[in-house]
Structure 1
């Protein structure tokens, strides 16, 4: 990485961003949906075990 000289720093300029009211149509929205599903059945059995596997999902849509 090279060092900046005083001349290079003095040559820099800045520009102001527009006011917030000017950015009225700059919308950033997101639709988020999450779900968690699991099922286990252990009916009419003796000395048995029921296993369950959970499925999770998250969906994000950004506009």
Structure 2
């Protein structure tokens, strides 16, 4: 059985900020993955902006 085709998203690292662009489903999936991955770190990423084609994550105090 074939896997459903995934579209890609673009991830840009800008210091303490991560900008994810692409299709809505993929950017939200990638944002959730990053937030989970850094959830237990001293400075976890937080969602600061969410539009149809772009999500911005930032570390507190940035």
Shorter-normalised TM-score: what interval? Answer: under 0.3
Structure with greater proportional helix content? 2
Structure with greater proportional strand content? 2
Give 1 or 2 for the bigger CA radius of gyration: 1
Provide the TM-score with structure 2 as the length reference: 0.26
Provide the TM-score with structure 1 as the length reference: 0.26
